[in-house]
């Protein structure tokens, strides 16, 4: 039973991470009308930058999150302004250009950070585990699970009407 519950909680945590990546892609597609296949590569750019700031430069964890997010956002803004602005309402070309950026950004990440697996950086206050009902849960994953739930629950209530059913 302990094995099942531990894997259940870990699966929920991983699902939260995937949800945020997919939600970002949905927002970009829904608001801007851009099919951005490079969304994950932009996320990885911000994640690697945040990891470098926190683990290699020994700067605070919160600053690393902010600067990593800004880095990914600025790269995405640069791609949108220079390459995608002329491609609105051209879905085939959007897919080709953004897929090209998946390859380009992926190779830049390999060039800068290499192909070795990196240890996850964990803030000091998130190290360790919490005992819940005889199950040991990592504080970092518990924090991700709780913060993810608190951000997704308000957006998934019955008061949120799907965009495609609204009358314009």
Contact (CB, 8 A) for 135 and 2: yes
Banded pLDDT at 53 (limits 50, 70, 90):
very high
Query: pLDDT tens digits for 63-104?
Result: 999 999 999 999 999 999 999 999 988 989 999 999 999 999
Residue 114 to residues 42, 50, 118, Cα–Cα distance (Å) = 17, 16, 10
Q: Which residues pair with 136 in a beta bridge?
A: 131
Q: Which residue has the higher pLDDT, 62 or 167?
A: 62
Count of alpha carbons within 13 Å of 31, Cβ hemisphere only? 6
The predicted structure's pLDDT at residue 80: 92
* Among candidate residues 120, 118, 142, the one with its CA nearest the CA of residue 129: 142
The predicted structure's pLDDT at residue 67: 96
Q: Please give the structure tokens belonging to residue 4.
A: 């099942």
Q: Which residue has the higher pLDDT, 7 or 21?
A: 7
Query: pLDDT tens digits for 152-162?
Result: 666 555 545 55
Q: Give me the chain's average pLDDT, please.
A: 83
Instruction: Reply yes or no on whether the pLDDT at 164 is more than 60.
Output: no
Q: Please give the structure tokens belonging to residue 35.
A: 């099919």
Instruction: Reply yes or no on whether the pLDDT at 167 is more than 50.
Output: no
- ∠ at Cα 90 (93, 166), nearest 5°? 135
What CA–CA distance (Å, rounded) separates 67 from 94?
Answer: 27
Instruction: Reply yes or no on whether the pLDDT at 6 is more than 90.
Output: no
Instruction: Reply yes or no on whether the pLDDT at 166 is more than 70.
Output: no
State the burial class of residue 159 (Cβ atoms within 10 Å of its Cβ: 0-12, 13-18, 19+): exposed
The predicted structure's pLDDT at residue 79: 95
Least confident of 22-26, 39-43, 147-151: 147-151
> Quick one: which H or E segment has residue 155?
none
Give the SS3 label for residue 135. strand
Extended beta strands in the chain, E state: 129-132, 135-138
Contact (CB, 8 A) for 118 and 109: no
Banded pLDDT at 108 (limits 50, 70, 90):
very high
Residue 149 CB neighbour total at 10 angstroms: 11
The predicted structure's pLDDT at residue 145: 72
Domain boundaries, the chain: 1-10+123-168, 33-121
The b/e string for 35-62 (b: 16+ C-beta within 10 A; e otherwise) is bbbbbbbbbbbbbbbbbbbbbeeeeebe
Q: What is the mean pLDDT of residues 142-165?
A: 60
């Amino acid at each position: 039973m302990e094995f099942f519950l531990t894997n259940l909680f870990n699966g929920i945590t991983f699902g939260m991470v995937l949800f945020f990546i997919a939600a970002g892609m949905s927002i970009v597609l829904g608001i801007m009308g851009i099919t951005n296949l490079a969304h994950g590569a932009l996320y990885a750019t911000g994640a690697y930058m945040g990891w470098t700031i926190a683990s290699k430069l020994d700067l605070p964890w919160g600053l690393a999150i902010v600067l990593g997010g800004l880095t990914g956002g600025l790269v995405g803004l640069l791609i949108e302004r220079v390459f995608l602005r002329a491609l609105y309402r051209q879905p085939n070309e959007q897919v080709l250009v953004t897929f090209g950026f998946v390859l380009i950004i992926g190779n830049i990440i390999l060039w800068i950070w290499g192909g070795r697996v990196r240890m996850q950086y964990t803030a000091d206050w998130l190290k360790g585990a919490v005992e819940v009902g005889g199950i040991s849960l990592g504080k970092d994953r518990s924090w991700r699970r709780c913060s993810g739930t608190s951000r997704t629950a308000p957006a998934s209530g019955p008061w949120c009407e799907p965009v495609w059913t609204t009358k314009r």
